[in-house]
Each structure stands twice: as structure tokens, then as C-alpha cells.
């Protein structure tokens, strides 16, 4: 069952005519001609759709929280800042089926009674921004955007806004700051964006993939959507798979698919690259805990692990993980876990906005200690020091980037402690191993 990638390979689907011929914008017609705002919100609530940006928050609920008591304008924002390591699904959707996002944006904006919407897209992706602007232009030309859409009295403008290279701007309040022309420093919550977001007005921020589900839900009803996937994880999900697998790429799966099937079926990852074995997987983008082979394939209870919010988190921090953004990073037995972790530590150090000291200082410490371990200059007590720095960041920052930086460190040490110890005990061997040759 495909919702998001259904027509992705149809030649010319980027063009309005082709998209329209295949039933595109029929959900906008349906909503604007036969539904009121709150009915769209209700369908999305009934669907059980959970945000696909990483946190998994129920979308209908988020929309329901929008403050309608004020006469301030309301803003709909699409989060297209995709930057979580391992995640590359939103770009794929926007590049190949931009009208799906535009249609979803019209419906989402209508649902929250917003007449101005922004797509915040990471600055590196100007080529995609052009694709989106072309699709938006076509939607205006065909009467699906602008004033009094389809004679319904509803008006909407959508604009694209580029970032300029900052992972933190994917965090919704940092994104709002950035859209206001500021540094991407996250805001304290509350107030939540639903009450005071962009320019102090009620705002919804949703991920690209989340929004791309809305046309299907409006066309087919929330109840139909809820029948897909599992009880707690309705619908389908894009999984972007990379690393040591035969077929890296973006796949749409019905939630609840066994990890084993996803990893080894030729329809998906196609198994581990030739002659190698599975060592570990980061299942939901680099911010979620890593799991060793046995725990990603089976839960601690010995049941098959499924690609769903609830199955992946089974076992808690000790032996579970999270679905996150669906960035599925596969590592085979050749992977040095210390070196791999160092690259993520460097990432979070680089991307910390610097606002909260535990994160600003702690990410630097973690990077430094890992660098030392990796280069054969580590001490045994460094391993616990590393874990304790991570623990001290966790929960002590304004936004979850601190947690996101801490979890990989804690889980890599938790599951692969022997490799860290080996780096201390065998500094020369580890230096030899890491000689980069051209």
C-alpha cells in the first residue's frame, strides 16, 4: 500500500497537468467545496497520523491546539530543513512530486485557517526550492492558490524560504527564529507555537512527509488511514536506508513491517553488501540509540522487531530505540564504532547553537574525548567520563538537540563498550587500523 510514493515514477508528475490528471488537487476541491475547517482537522485526528519529522506527535492534535480565540493571523509552516544524519526522504518527495506537498500545504493551511504559509527549506537545496516554486506557480495559475480559491472564499499564499546551513533550524522554534531573520536559537516552550509562533502568532510546523499524507486522508477519510499500519502507528512511513546495504534508497513501508524483511528483502535494502554481516543499525536518524544486530532484529522478549513507533521503542533505553525520522543507517562488521560515533559527536558539536552551556560545552568535550580515544591517546577512565558528560547534557537544555547528542554516545558505549576498551588497550593497533590510505 502506497500513499506517498504512489505516483513518484510517473513521467512528468512534476507538472501540474500530469499530477492533476492522476487525481491531484481533488482533495482540495473536496475540502474547499464540501467541508469546513474543523472537519478537515477531525479527519486528520481520526487518522491517527503522527508527525514524521522525528517526534511522532499526533498531527490532528497539534492542529486542534491552534488558538482560534485571537484575531491574529495564523501561519502554516512546512519543515523542509531535513538534516538529521541518515534522513533523505523529504528531498526525494519534493524533487519528484512537488505538487503533493503543495496540495498538502493547501489542505493543512485551510484546516488551521491560515492564509499565509511558508516552506522553510534548507539552503543547500535551492535546486529543490526552484522545483517547488514552479509547482506553486502552476497552482496559482490554475486557481488552487491565491485569492478566493475555487470560489470558496478561502485565500492562501505559499512562499518558499531558504535556510543557510544549520541543522538546529530543523527544530521548530529555531526554524521560526530563522524565518524571522535571526540566528537559529530555539525558544523556551511554553508558549508553544500553536499559541505564539511566527511573529508571535498561532503557528503550526509540520514535516514535509506529514503534510504529504493529508491529501490521501482527505480523499479517503481518517478512518481508512487508521486501518493501515498498526494501532499505535497508523499509515505508511518513508524509510531512507543507507550505509552498508545493497540498495540504499527511500522506501515506503506500511508501519509494522518486520525489520528483518525490510533489511533483507530485495524489494527494500536487499541485505548487507556482499560477503559482510550485519553489525548494528541506527534506525531513526543519528539522534536515536544505536542497536546491535540481535536487538534490531528481535525485541528483548525475542519477538521479531517491527518498524513501528511502539516496537522499536520496546526495551527502553537499554535495548530499544526509536522510529524518529526514519533514517535507517546500517553498519557491517568492518565498522569501527568509536570512529563512527566520533563523526556524530563532531556533527552535534558543530551544530549546537551554543545557547545552553551543557550542550555547547558538553558536545565539545565529547568530541574531544572521542578524538583522543580514536587516536590511541585515550585512558580507561575516559569511557566513563564520556558517558557522564552525555548524562549531564541530557534533559538540561532548552531544545532536544542536547539529548540527540547524548543518546548516540550513551548507546554506543552501552552496546559496544568492548570496542572502546580495545581502543585504550591497543592504541597502536587502532592507529594502524585507522590509517586512511588514498
Partner 1 sequence: MNFQFSSESIELISKIIKRYPEGRQKSALIPVLHIAQAENHGWLTTEIMNQVAEMLQIQPIEVYEVATFYSMFSLKPVGKCIIEICMTGPCCLSGAEELLAYLESKLGIKAGETTPDGMITLKKVECLAACGGAPVIKNGFNYYENMNFKKADLLLEKCTHESFTSHSNPYHQSL
- Which of 58, 143, 146, 248 contacts partner 1 by CB under 8 A? 248
Cα 178 from Cα 168, distance rounded (Å): 10
Set of cell numbers at residue 115: 492564509
**Residue 17 C-beta: closest distance to ligand FMN, Å:** 29
CB 113 within 8 A of CB 41: no
Q: Does 436 bind partner 1 (CB under 8 A)?
A: yes
Q: Which of residues 61-80 bind partner 1 (CB under 8 A)?
A: 73
Q: Does 199 bind partner 1 (CB under 8 A)?
A: yes
3 state DSSP class of 337: helix
- Which of 7, 15, 115, 116 contacts partner 1 by CB under 8 A? 116
Burial of 182 (0-12, 13-18, 19+ CB in 10 A): exposed
CB 214 within 8 A of CB 44: yes
Residues in contact with 373: Cβ distance below 8 Å, sequence separation at least 6, in sequence order: 338, 382, 383, 386, 420, 423, 424
CB 433 within 8 A of CB 375: no
Residue of 238, 282, 237 whose CA lies nearest to 255: 237
- Which of 205, 239, 278, 295 contacts ligand FMN by CB under 6 A? 205
Q: Does 61 bind ligand FMN (CB under 6 A)?
A: no
Set of cell numbers at residue 390: 552525555
Cα 11 from Cα 19, distance rounded (Å): 10
Q: Does 397 bind ligand FMN (CB under 6 A)?
A: no
Q: Does 296 bind ligand FMN (CB under 6 A)?
A: no
- Which of 249, 271, 376, 400 contacts ligand FMN by CB under 6 A? 400
Set of cell numbers at residue 11: 513521467
Q: What are phi and psi of 249, to 5 degrees?
A: 165, -175
Q: Which of residues 2-61 bind partner 1 (CB under 8 A)?
A: none
Cα 99 from Cα 15, distance rounded (Å): 8
- Which of 13, 149, 158, 168 contacts ligand FMN by CB under 6 A? 168
- Which of 43, 84, 209, 394 contacts partner 1 by CB under 8 A? 84
* Of residues 66 and 241, the one with the C-beta less far from partner 1: 241
Which of partner 1, ligand FMN, none is residue 111 near (CB under 5 to 8 Å by kind)? none
The contact set with partner 1 (CB under 8 A) reads: 73, 82-88, 90-91, 116, 122-127, 130, 157, 159, 161-167, 178-184, 199, 240-244, 248-250, 282, 286, 327, 329, 331, 335, 339-340, 343-344, 346-347, 350-351, 353, 436-438
The contact set with ligand FMN (CB under 6 A) reads: 51-55, 57, 59, 79, 81-84, 168, 170-172, 205-207, 210, 399-401, 404
Amino acid at each position: 500500500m502506497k500513499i506517498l510514493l504512489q505516483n513518484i515514477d510517473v513521467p512528468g508528475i512534476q507538472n501540474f497537468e500530469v499530477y492533476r490528471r492522476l487525481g491531484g488537487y481533488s482533495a482540495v476541491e473536496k475540502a474547499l467545496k464540501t467541508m469546513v475547517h474543523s472537519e478537515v482537522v477531525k479527519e486528520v485526528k481520526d487518522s491517527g497520523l503522527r508527525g514524521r519529522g522525528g517526534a511522532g506527535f499526533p498531527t490532528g492534535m497539534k492542529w486542534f491546539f491552534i488558538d482560534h480565540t485571537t484575531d491574529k493571523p495564523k501561519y502554516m509552516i512546512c519543515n523542509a530543513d531535513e538534516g538529521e544524519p541518515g534522513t533523505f526522504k523529504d528531498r526525494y518527495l519534493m524533487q519528484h512530486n512537488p505538487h503533493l506537498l503543495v496540495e498538502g500545504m493547501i489542505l493543512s493551511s485551510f484546516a488551521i485557517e491560515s492564509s499565509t504559509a511558508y516552506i522553510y527549506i534548507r539552503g543547500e537545496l535551492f535546486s529543490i526550492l526552484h522545483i517547488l516554486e514552479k509547482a506553486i506557480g502552476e497552482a496559482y495559475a490554475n486557481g488552487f492558490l491565491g485569492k478566493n480559491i475555487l470560489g470558496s472564499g478561502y485565500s492562501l499564499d505559499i512562499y518558499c524560504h531558504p535556510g543557510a546551513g544549520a541543522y538546529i533550524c530543523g527544530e521548530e522554534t529555531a526554524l521560526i527564529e530563522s524565518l524571522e531573520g535571526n540566528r537559529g536559537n530555539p525558544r523556551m516552550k511554553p508558549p508553544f507555537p500553536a499559541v505564539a509562533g511566527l511573529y508571535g502568532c498561532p503557528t503550526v510546523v509540520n514535516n514535509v512527509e506529514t503534510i504529504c499524507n493529508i491529501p490521501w486522508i482527505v480523499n479517503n477519510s481518517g478512518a481508512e488511514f487508521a486501518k493501515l499500519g498498526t494501532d499505535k502507528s497508523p499509515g505508511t512511513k518513508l524509510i531512507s536506508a543507507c550505509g552498508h546495504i545493497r540498495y540504499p534508497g527511500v522506501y515506503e513501508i506500511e508501519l509494522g513491517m518486520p525489520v528483518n524483511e525490510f533489511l533483507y528483502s530485495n524489494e527494500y535494502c536487499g541485505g548487507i553488501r556482499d560477503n559482510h554481516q550485519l553489525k548494528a543499525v541506527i534506525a531513526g536518524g543519528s539522534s536515536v540509540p544505536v542497536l546491535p544486530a540481535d536487538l534490531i532484529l528481535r525485541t528483548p522478549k525475542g519477538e521479531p522487531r517491527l518498524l513501528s513507533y511502539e516496537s522499536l521503542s520496546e526495551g527502553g533505553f537499554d535495548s530499544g530505540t526509536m522510529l524518529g525520522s526514519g533514517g535507517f543507517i546500517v553498519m557491517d562488521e568492518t565498522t569501527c564504532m568509536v570512529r563512527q560515533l566520533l563523526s556524530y559527536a563532531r556533527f552535534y558539536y558543530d551544530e549546537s547553537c551554543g545557547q545552553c552551556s551543557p550542550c555547547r560545552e558538553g558536545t565539545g568535550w565529547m568530541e574531544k574525548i572521542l578524538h583522543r580515544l580514536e587516536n590511541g591517546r585515550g585512558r580507561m577512565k575516559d569511557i566513563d567520563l564520556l558517558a557522564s558528560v552525555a548524562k549531564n547534557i541530557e534533559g538540561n537544555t532548552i531544545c532536544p538537540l542536547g539529548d540527540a547528542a547524548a543518546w548516540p554516545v550513551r548507546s554506543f558505549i552501552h552496546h559496544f563498550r568492548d570496542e572502546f576498551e580495545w581502543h585504550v588497550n591497543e592504541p597502536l593497533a587502532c592507529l594502524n587500523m585507522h590509517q586512511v590510505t588514498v
